[in-house]
């Protein structure tokens, strides 16, 4: 249940993120938060994420009782081995400049959130553009269009068979190895990116995707590396809970 509704704003970009994973649209209060939701949506280790999940009481520097609502709570799927996934992560999404400018204001909020999370076996993390706006995000934006598309079964099977036989290949090399109809190059390439987007072909998403990217056969049912930084607790933003070091 959402603890606080996101108000309309004329200063910040607010809206609703269409989350298939959550089966409901998720509200965001900035484009940075929206980008973070995209990373979570594409991360197959993430079971669900909820915006504005809890409201936490705290005392400000003047001693007045206040309330703070973190941005998102992330929950994880169990590992393929049957082991539990990472602990739920209570996250605040902030620009680094905002943290520097308002660090004194945020410090008691983040301290209260850290204790609140620890008491429940969660983790509290501050996530910034340094962790969100990376080559991974650009790659996911590129792949997202291919994820829901329907593909030709013959092309799909030929690409997967060729990659399993050779282990690794670049995109152009894999198309050649699969011996697909050269007149249907565009369709075959779209099928290849669909297989990457759905995790049937692996690639390092932390490097910008190019014609020279190394594709690899997957045997673990993984997601092609489509995950958020840090394992297993979502983000270790390089921040402590009070802001940038």
What's the whole-model pTM score?
A: 0.79
pLDDT at residue 17, as a whole number: 87
| 15-134 CATH | 3.40.1350.10
pLDDT at residue 220, as a whole number: 57
User: Cα–chain-centroid distance for residue 195?
Assistant: 18
Tokens at 203, concatenated: 């690639």
pLDDT at residue 224 is higher than 50 = no
pLDDT at residue 196 is higher than 60 = yes
Residue with tokens 């706006």, as numbered in its chain? 133
Confidence of residue 1 (pLDDT cuts 50, 70, 90): low
pLDDT at residue 61 is higher than 90 = no
Question: Are the beta carbons of 206 and 225 closer than 8 angstroms?
Answer: yes
What is the residue extent of each domain of the chain?
15-134, 138-217
Handedness of CA 124, 128, 134, 140 (dihedral sign): positive
- Check if CATH label 3.40.30 holds for domain 138-217: no
DSSP state of 182: G
**Rounded Cα–Cα distance for residues 91 and 216 (Å):** 33
User: Cα–chain-centroid distance for residue 70?
Assistant: 17
**Rounded Cα–Cα distance for residues 87 and 234 (Å):** 9
Question: Are the beta carbons of 140 and 205 closer than 8 angstroms?
Answer: yes
- The H-assigned helical ranges of the chain are 31-42, 96-101, 103-119, 129-132, 135-144, 153-166, 171-177, 185-197
**Rounded Cα–Cα distance for residues 229 and 132 (Å):** 8
Integer angstrom CA distances of residue 199 from 40, 146, 149, 225: 15, 12, 14, 8
Integer angstrom CA distances of residue 228 from 14, 120, 162: 23, 23, 29
Confidence of residue 178 (pLDDT cuts 50, 70, 90): very high
């Amino acid at each position: 249940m959402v603890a606080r509704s996101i108000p309309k704003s004329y200063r910040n970009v607010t809206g609703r993120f269409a989350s298939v994973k959550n089966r409901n649209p998720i509200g965001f209060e900035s484009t940075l938060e929206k980008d973070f939701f995209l990373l979570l949506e594409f991360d197959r280790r993430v079971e669900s994420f909820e915006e504005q999940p809890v409201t936490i009481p705290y005392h400000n520097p003047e001693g007045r009782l206040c309330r703070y609502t973190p941005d998102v709570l992330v929950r994880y799927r169990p590992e393929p081995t049957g082991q539990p996934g990472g602990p739920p992560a209570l996250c605040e999404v902030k620009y680094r400049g905002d943290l520097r400018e308002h660090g004194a204001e945020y410090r008691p909020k983040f301290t209260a959130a850290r204790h609140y999370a620890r008491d429940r076996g969660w983790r509290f993390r501050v996530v910034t553009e340094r962790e969100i706006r990376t080559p991974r995000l650009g790659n996911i934006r590129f792949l997202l269009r291919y994820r829901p598309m329907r593909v030709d079964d013959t092309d799909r099977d030929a690409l997967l068979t060729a990659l399993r036989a050779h282990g690794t290949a670049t995109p152009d090399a894999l198309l050649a190895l699969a011996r697909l109809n050269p007149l249907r190059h565009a369709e075959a390439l779209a099928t290849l990116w669909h297989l990457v987007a759905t995790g049937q072909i692996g690639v390092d998403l932390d490097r910008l995707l190019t014609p020279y990217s190394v594709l690899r056969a997957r045997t673990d049912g993984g997601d092609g590396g489509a995950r958020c930084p840090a394992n297993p607790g979502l983000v270790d933003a390089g921040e402590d809970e009070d802001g940038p070091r």
